[in-house]
Structure 1
Amino acid sequence: MFETELQNTKQKIFSLASGKEQISLMEILSWQIPQAVKDYFNIFAERILSEEILNVLYSRRFDQNNPEFVEARKKLTSSLKNAILFNRSEFENAVDKAVRFAINFVLRPEWTLAKIIFKNDSVKTKEQILEAFANFNEYAYYKKLIEKIFTKYQSEEIKLEVFQRLLRKIDEEVMRNVSIGDLISIVEPVYNFFKFANDSGLVPASALVIFFNDKGAESIVKEIELERDLHGRAKFSVSDLEIILKRVLKVSEVEEKAVEEKPVEVEPEVEKPLVVKEEAKKEEIKEEVEEKIEPQSEPKVKLPDLNSLLDEKMREKFVRKIFKRDETRFNEAIEKLNTIPTWKDASAFIDSIFVEFEIDPYSDEAIEFTDFVYRRYSTWVK
């Protein structure tokens, strides 16, 4: 998916280094290219430094939580990064990975952050996570809010699954509380990437669907899909998206608030209702309370068993391509998904599967698996 955009982006970046056998990191960071590509080169440079020079500074010889030591290591790393040179082969290989990282990050930041920050580890310290965030300049609200949340955690260690839940909680709160203008700003990295790739201010509907699915914004996703499927709108300008957001979020009934004005709650069970006009407030709260006290064991609809939607050919493909031939893990995942009542939670669980098995969420197999699970929630059985 988006292979044309990926190839266009790579060729444009290659052209900036035409005729050069060595390219410095500082030069790359000065180019007018997608910020997420620059972020990848920063991460790549630190990885090189860690492997070739800084391993000793991350050893148990030193107290990794000592503030003075951490600050000194940051300064040394920054100074060394400024002098890094990539040879032509390194540069070309890095560009290919950088543009794929960039499109993953701008469209699915939750998945990408967990993947890059934790790598193959299941636990990271708070300091390691915050240090890693220094290389991410797109979607700065994640870092800002994670810092606030971490002040409430006494434990210095954060598990991967906890980190993933925190990112999801942040996005849920942001989507619930930002203004239309702020939401347009949040989507800006997506438009910037596709503008660089295609010299156009239009973004494919499929890209916006992926982006808002990552945010758990199902109502916006449905509206975009409606425009695409029923009205043939394959691409959206910023003004097109703004019209959809106003229609879906009914901005005339909501007091717009910037995300900075309202802190994110750490506890996932705490939900904040939308602030509405006084005449609508009582009815809104009444509906919300009734929804919360409704027993989860008595759903309004019966969702189909995923096994009933699965043929043998699909099963074999998913076991082989998604679960790396681990049929037991596949069956466990299907059993777990059958117990999940909402697409939002199912989507988060699918993300964890892709992280566990190191699956590119934009591969054909990953998209097919996601669509397969989505059908369970889009075709309810009364």
Structure 2
Amino acid sequence: MWENETVVLVISLKKRILGAETKARFSRISSDNAIPPFIKALFHQKVEDYLLAESPFSVHTTPHFEFRPEDLTGIRHRFDEVLRDAAVFPAKEVEDILREALVLRLDYLIKPADTMRRLLFEKRDRVELVQMERVLDPYTKLLPYAERLLSECRRMNHTIVASDEYSRIILDLFHQMMNGESVKVVLHDFSVLTDFLSETKGEEVVRVDGDLLQEFLADRNLWNFRRALDIELKLGKEDFDAVDLELTLKRYLELRAEFAEDAAKGPVNASGKPLVPREEIQVEAESTKETESLPEPEAEVESETEAGQESESWDLEDVIGEEPLMIEDEPAFPVIELEPDMPSATENDVIAPLAERDEAETEPGKTQESPAGKKQPASQMRIIRRDSKGGEEEKPAAPAVKKQKSETEPPVSSGIRELIDDRTEKIFVKKLFDGDQDSYQGLLEKLEEAESWRVAKILIDNELFKRDVDPFSREAIKLVDLVYSRYYPEEGVGGT
């Protein structure tokens, strides 16, 4: 992918290593301080491979020369030093190794987690800490991820790290580094990437392709930022510089914060005022403390009472037309037995709905007095008098508050199987699982049981790595998108 991007730097380094010669000795390469450590590391790895495959010496015991294991270790050490000094690389191989090293470095700058996984676990399932240090040390000066990974393994006292454990450690590491400073970290890594691209091409590079940036963000587990970038790409944007990237990410964070505030406030009506659920109004009215107001003139009280009685007739018809006021088994409001000295109530003596009663009140905070001169509590409550049958006394019924699903309640995430249609499932089985339907179903069962996005991502990474599948292929990213949308349904799939 990057072979054409590294031509200028490859030619420059090749001239320095070879000079006027057609071959280069490894001893000269390893002693040149101007050659970057990650390039020396790749040459050293090649020499170690050649020592196993092409060693010119063969040591074995004879009747008169019997070697013990410790003798062979000492002899091998001395032989290896001699062979390393004598190792040579022809010009063509020097160029190939340089290009491979530069491409590997660019991969690390774009996808540090995936690149370190390939370096450490390409031919094994577990690796010793000493070997991790030898492999990752040349990359510690490029980006902080390699050094932080080694430090975390030392802190956890790991002497051997398995592939599964690596996935957990690297996700925790990204979470720690991105927590609260994700935009700052992304812009720093983007700057390092553009600087190296400028160095390899021999010209200033300030813009990076959008598809490449999606891999850049996805590898760092920044799937929310990747979706924000995906929206820009769908709107026609092809590449980004540092300013474009910063604006895109900050705009996404601002919109997310704004929507979070709106969700916390709850639903609003057409005029922008918040809607309060009916059951909350009922509970609030029933729990209001009783207060007393100053006495009012008797004439004013009587006029208010008459006005209330006049409005009760149409109030009752309205309420009956919309929904029943009282259910025999589950009364919507408490039924209160009238005292003997209170005036008898007719069938129409029903107080209007709470919202309409509020409008009928003249002054908030004041209570009304009954014609008999008794003060009524300020809390608004419907009073219904029932004629007792057979001399039985009616007892107050407890208020029934219906449980309704709040509009602000987040939607329940569906199962992963419900998000994958038949056509997509066939593509996943064919492209990601090489036709192995059982393994595909096994992964889905594990994903259904995963309690968090972090656990689900680890399961997917391990399965793809075990099958040597490119985690940034179209099908792999589609699978991750679908699983991500299960835990964060408000963000949709693929930025939609």
Superposed CA offset, 1:121-171 (max 9, x none): 222222222222212145542243334423433452222211221111111
SS of match in other structure, 1:311: helix
Is 1:216 the counterpart of 2:231 in the alignment?
no
> Do 2:416 and 2:444's aligned partners in 1 also have CA atoms closer than 8 Å?
no
Residue 466 of structure 2: aligned partner: 356
Hey, what's the Cα distance between the residues in 2 that align with 1:28 and 1:355? 36
TM-score, normalised to structure 2's length? 0.51
Residue 301 of structure 2: aligned partner: none
| Aligned AA (1:224) | L
| Aligned AA (1:368) | E
Hey, what's the Cα distance between the residues in 1 that align with 2:412 and 2:221? 21
Hey, what's the Cα distance between the residues in 2 that align with 1:83 and 1:200? 40
> Do 1:125 and 1:157's aligned partners in 2 also have CA atoms closer than 8 Å?
yes
| Aligned AA (2:245) | L
Is 1:163 the counterpart of 2:163 in the alignment?
no
Residue 332 of structure 1: aligned partner: 442
Change (3 A) 1:183 1:20: same
> Do 2:416 and 2:447's aligned partners in 1 also have CA atoms closer than 8 Å?
no
| Aligned AA (1:322) | L
- Could you list the runs of 5+ residues in structure 2 that have no partner in the other structure? 56-68, 265-409
Deviation at 1:180, TM superposition (A): 4.8
Hey, what's the Cα distance between the residues in 2 that align with 1:29 and 1:326? 50
Hey, what's the Cα distance between the residues in 1 that align with 2:106 and 2:205? 16
| Structure 1 residues 1-382: aligned runs within 5 Å | 3=1, 6-16=2-12, 17=14, 21-22=22-23, 25=29, 30=34, 39=38, 41-53=39-51, 85-95=88-98, 97-137=100-140, 139-178=142-181, 180-195=183-198, 196-197=200-201, 199-230=204-235, 232-249=236-253, 300-305=412-417, 308-311=420-423, 315=426, 318-319=428-429, 321-324=431-434, 326-340=436-450, 345-362=455-472, 366-375=473-482, 377-378=484-485, 380=489
| Aligned AA (1:202) | R
Task: Give the number of the structure whose alpha-carbon radius of gyration is greater.
Answer: 2
Superposed CA offset, 1:255-279 (max 9, x none): xxxxxxxxxxxxxxxxxxxxxxxxx
Change (3 A) 1:179 1:113: closer
SS of match in other structure, 1:192: helix
Hey, what's the Cα distance between the residues in 1 that align with 2:244 and 2:43? 39
Superposed CA offset, 1:272-315 (max 9, x none): xxxxxxxx9xx9xxxxxxxxxxxxxx972214416842428x63
> Do 2:30 and 2:40's aligned partners in 1 also have CA atoms closer than 8 Å?
no
Superposed CA offset, 1:11-40 (max 9, x none): 334543479733564699847xxx7xx62x
SS of match in other structure, 2:138: coil
> Which structure: greater helix fraction?
1
Superposed CA offset, 1:92-118 (max 9, x none): 443554454334322221121122023
> Do 2:140 and 2:146's aligned partners in 1 also have CA atoms closer than 8 Å?
no
Deviation at 1:87, TM superposition (A): 1.6
Residue 274 of structure 1: aligned partner: none
Hey, what's the Cα distance between the residues in 1 that align with 2:85 and 2:176? 37
Deviation at 1:243, TM superposition (A): 2.5
The structure whose RCO (Cα within 8 Å, separation 6+) is larger is 1
> Do 1:303 and 1:377's aligned partners in 2 also have CA atoms closer than 8 Å?
no
Hey, what's the Cα distance between the residues in 1 that align with 2:430 and 2:90? 37
> Do 1:350 and 1:370's aligned partners in 2 also have CA atoms closer than 8 Å?
no
SS of match in other structure, 1:358: coil
Superposed CA offset, 1:310-366 (max 9, x none): 428x63x6445533554433332233334446655544433222321223334xxx3
Change (3 A) 1:130 1:226: same
Change (3 A) 1:199 1:357: farther
Counting matched residue pairs gives: 306
Change (3 A) 1:126 1:151: same
Superposition RMSD in Å? 4.2
SS of match in other structure, 2:139: coil
Identity of matched residues, %: 17
Hey, what's the Cα distance between the residues in 2 that align with 1:158 and 1:374? 28
> Do 2:210 and 2:238's aligned partners in 1 also have CA atoms closer than 8 Å?
yes
Hey, what's the Cα distance between the residues in 1 that align with 2:225 and 2:7? 33
Change (3 A) 1:326 1:120: farther
Deviation at 1:234, TM superposition (A): 1.4
SS of match in other structure, 2:89: strand
> Do 2:194 and 2:207's aligned partners in 1 also have CA atoms closer than 8 Å?
yes
